[in-house]
A = this chain, B = another copy of it.
Amino acid sequence: VTDARPIGVFDSGIGGLTVLREIRALLPEEHLVYIGDTARVPYGTKGPETVRTYSVNIARTLMQHGCKAIVIACNTASAYGREAVAHLVQRPTIDVIDPLASGAIQPGVRRVLVLGTRGTVASQAYPMALARKHAGLTVEQRACPLFVPLAEEGWTQGVVPEEIARTYLADVCVDGPPDAVLLGCTHYPLLESTIRHVLTERGAVHTTIHHAGVYTARTLAAELRLNDIAASPAQQGKTRVLVTDDPGGLDAVARRFFGASPGPIEHITLDLG
């Protein structure tokens, strides 16, 4: 059996394109519909109830596109909205937190540092997910709120992002460098070289930095097989990118996150009040 229906992917904005990119690379035969909720971005600074409402609203819109599975490509929405979305859609629902937590636990990993938005850090979603997988880990978390606007501005290298990263990471590694750093926000991969630079200054030379994208794409592929809803390998997967605010001027930003042009960005009208 093959299933030609699209996979729905969403994020608060265009950060989730770092996840879409890995799904596109791993599953070239799948049709993908991405919604970036740019009219209400960011989610990371907002409260649980608000993030849940927005997540359900976007997931409902993806269902209207006939999606066979949903990927929540936003950490804050994964932390606060996963259950509500899964309950609504009654389809395979993949978040970014579980795949990243599982993927980062490799042999020899004892100390883990999680970087995320204030919302993701406050939710304790990563410490809980890590504890479910492995009992003996030491987990530290740091909220890095300015990383999101920096990534959106494309200001990812140089004095300013380095100095901001130094401030956020000032007191990590006091008991020894982390074995694994989890980029718990889909914007942060754009700042990876700056984060690595600052960690190296602080002596963390053998630290592995993990993104959610690859692990999430693998989890999605496994779920598609498990549920027998994968597309035919002969299918040529199409990518549609929709945003809730005016898409004007987004092309350059989208290219930074997707690594190439994801094609024309379309506007989708939601009832915004």
Which A residues are within 8 Å of any B CB, using their own CB?
A: 38-41, 45-50, 53-54, 56-57, 145-146, 148-150, 152-153, 155, 159-160, 163-164, 167, 244-246, 248, 270-273
Contacts and interface: CB of A to CB of B under 8 A. Distances in A.
Nearest to A160: B163
Given A272-B53, A273-B270, A273-B272, A47 B146 contact: no
Given A146-B150, A160-B164, 13 more contacts: A38-B46, A39-B40, A39-B46, A39-B50, A45-B152, A48-B246, A49-B246, A50-B272, A53-B272, A57-B273, A146-B149, A149-B149, A163-B163
A131 B152 CA distance: 33
**Copies of this protein chain in the complex:** 2
A228 to B, nearest CB: 33
Contacts of A56: 273
Nearest to A13: B45
B46 A273 contact: no
A49 B272 CA distance: 11
Q: Which 7 A-B pairs have the closest CB atoms?
A: A47-B246, A57-B273, A149-B149, A39-B50, A50-B245, A47-B245, A53-B272
Contacts of A244: 50
A48 B245 CA distance: 9
Contact of A248 (B47, B149, B273): B47
A68 to B, nearest CB: 23
A112 to B, nearest CB: 25
Contact of A273 (B38, B53, B145): B53
A54 B163 contact: no
20 contacts: A38-B46, A39-B46, A40-B40, A45-B152, A47-B245, A47-B246, A47-B248, A50-B245, A50-B246, A53-B273, A57-B273, A146-B146, A146-B153, A148-B149, A149-B149, A159-B163, A160-B164, A163-B163, A270-B273, A271-B273
